[in-house]
Amino acid sequence: MVFTGARGGQLRRNNFRRLWLRALKNTGLRDVHFHDLRHTGNTLAATGGATTRELMQRMGHSSVRAALIYQHLVNGRDHAITAHVDEQIKKVRPDGPGDASGT
Domain segments of the chain as ranges? 1-32, 33-93
Residue 66 identity: A
What is the rounded (10 degree) CA torsion for 17, 21, 24, 28? 170
The residue type at 40: T
pLDDT at 65: 83
Out of 14-18, 58-62, 91-95, which region has the weakest mean confidence (pLDDT)? Answer: 91-95
pLDDT at res. 57:
92
Q: How far is CA 94 from the centre of its chain?
A: 33
pLDDT band at 100 (very low <50, low <70, confident <90, very high): low
Q: What one-character DSSP code corresponds to residue 57?
A: H
